[in-house]
Amino acid sequence: MSGSGGGGSSGWETTGTDDPVGPCASDPLCDIPPEEHEPTNKPDGLPSPKPGVYDDLGPAPLDNGFRSLMGFPNRQRELLEERVAAMYDPDSATFRDYLTVDEWMADHAPRTKDVDVVKAWLKTRGFTINYEAKNRLLVHFSGSVKDFNETFATELHICMRKNPLHSGDPFPVYCTLDSFTLPIFVAERTNGLATADLPAETGTLTNEVGDVVEDYPGDEAHGPPAFYGAYNMNKLFADGHDGRGSAIGVVGAGTYHTVDLQIFWKSFGIERQLPTRVALMEPVFERITETSLDTQWSSSLGPGADVFVYEGPDARNTALLFAWNEAIGDNKADVVTTSFAHREDSEAKTLRHQYDESALMGAAIGMTLLSASGDSAGTDTPCSSPYVTCVGGTNLVASPTGEISSERAWSMSGSGQSKSFALPYWQEADVLDSDTRAMCDLALSASPENPMWMRRWKKWESYGGTSFASPAFAGMVAVINSYRKAHGKPRVGYLNPVIYLHGPTRSAFRDITKGATPYYAAGVGWDYPSGLGAPDIAALAATIP
């Protein structure tokens, strides 16, 4: 089992009423003993200054605003991990006996009473409760920097963060030099503060203009048909398995370019319905490259699947973590993908573990959760969660229809040994040089030497990066689920135990034996840069038990 590393349990069990009664019915704080109001040290999810990643500009003005997330753990986590391990073991009596959301909420969601206690305390500190996650794992609140510093016994600084997006400018975020404290009764009920950011910017989303026309960009970069051929999807398409009956959830920041999305489809011969936009938190006012890219590629690789784009207001940690959690808690998608990767060595422990709390719920209810492994040749989060399938990168040389000339590990494929989580049981036979989670799990085309097309602001552009690999594989999983549904089988859910431990499924990956990052080389069998290799989607559909 993987260790959580998150906050401790409040000690509540599943029995008994969840509703306050008696004299404390109207005041959740009235029965908290005085000694539990004493402060105690608690890890937080804010970054610390790190040259070249987070550059410290000094203390934040006290009259600045902030928005923040308080994170909560899965209740009875050890029991839940045991249940998840059994439901993905083909020899178990509960194989693929996924929990319903109602079952997870009853047995493993944070108790309403505990969340209400924390919310009541935040209000006594002058903060505003803005949003609460559907699964109660996150509470979003806001207030002033002055009140933040006094409440958590710390000092917010402003850091300029290196932009993880393509060609983006650095942007300001909050960071801290000092540790945090929380009252004991809050610390015992939570994982602690998961994020704190400057308030979301406001603005007006500009209208898109232009006609939807076919505008084939040429063969200088890969389009979706190259992936159809290289990863053996065409046979499934021919048999009518194109993702219909499945649904993809895309973790977004801002929104996408609708006209460019339709031109992308039309230019590659794809006919399908527009995605459903799911608004979260503050209103969206900008179109962001990463969200456009992820939507174009996931929807094109699963052309028959429904697509839901979960739109936070921006690419700050508060919005991204909340969007990730809501894409899971909403339970509309079979497979969820994010390409907003965070360098694991630059993000705080609490943030990393809160992503994992959401991912564990997703595995329990039968979701496939995917993340880009990143483009730094290092480890990223949420990829490091054992409950996330980490999609790395290759350098694919192929024709426009996917006839492969060569495929090798990409030199910058995010990979390595996790700084957050213990080695999961399903990697023990492959990872002999580490006692922590190893990345990545599989890999698809990502190299800028043989880039992929995307459409942005009425222009064709070509890029590399695992930002293409994860949404592309999400579309592929939707196609596999479409095949399974047509054959009366449940969706595949949490992939990692099956692809590592089930022999026929493992053999459906094409081993990538050449190429290297600056730290690790590809080789025979599982390796850090390419994981188990490149997927054969038709073979996976046929062999996953």
pLDDT tier for residue 12 given thresholds of 50, 70 and 90: very low
Mean pLDDT for 115-134 is 97
Q: Round to the nearest angstrom and report the end-to-end CA distance of the chain.
A: 21
235 vs 255: CA distance, rounded Å: 33
Taken in order 498, 503, 509, 515, the sign of the CA dihedral is: positive
| Residue 7 confidence (pLDDT) | 37
pLDDT tier for residue 103 given thresholds of 50, 70 and 90: very high
Q: What is the pTM of this model?
A: 0.94
| Residue 8 confidence (pLDDT) | 36
Other C-beta atoms lying within 10 Å of the C-beta of residue 6: 24
| Residue 164 confidence (pLDDT) | 67
Mean pLDDT for 145-156 is 96
Q: What is the 3-state secondary structure (H, E, C) of 50-101?
A: ECCCEEEEEECCCCCEEEEEEECCCCCHHHHHHHHHHHCCCCCCCCCCCCCH
85 vs 74: CA distance, rounded Å: 16
Mean pLDDT for 51-77 is 95
| Residue 19 confidence (pLDDT) | 54
Q: How far is CA 442 from the centre of its chain?
A: 16
% residues pLDDT > 70 (the chain):
95
9 has a pLDDT exceeding 50:
no
Q: What is the pLDDT of residues 440-450, one digit of tens each?
A: 999 999 999 99
88 vs 375: CA distance, rounded Å: 30
143 has a pLDDT exceeding 60:
yes
Provide the mean pLDDT of the chain. Answer: 93
pLDDT tier for residue 26 given thresholds of 50, 70 and 90: confident
pLDDT tier for residue 14 given thresholds of 50, 70 and 90: very low
| Residue 165 confidence (pLDDT) | 63
The answer to whether 538 and 235 have CB atoms below 8 angstroms apart is yes
pLDDT tier for residue 422 given thresholds of 50, 70 and 90: very high
Mean pLDDT for 403-419 is 98
10 has a pLDDT exceeding 80:
no
3 has a pLDDT exceeding 50:
no
The angle subtended at Cα 459 by Cα 228 and Cα 230, nearest 5°, is: 15
- Greater model confidence, 23 or 536: 536
The answer to whether 88 and 368 have CB atoms below 8 angstroms apart is no
43 has a pLDDT exceeding 50:
yes
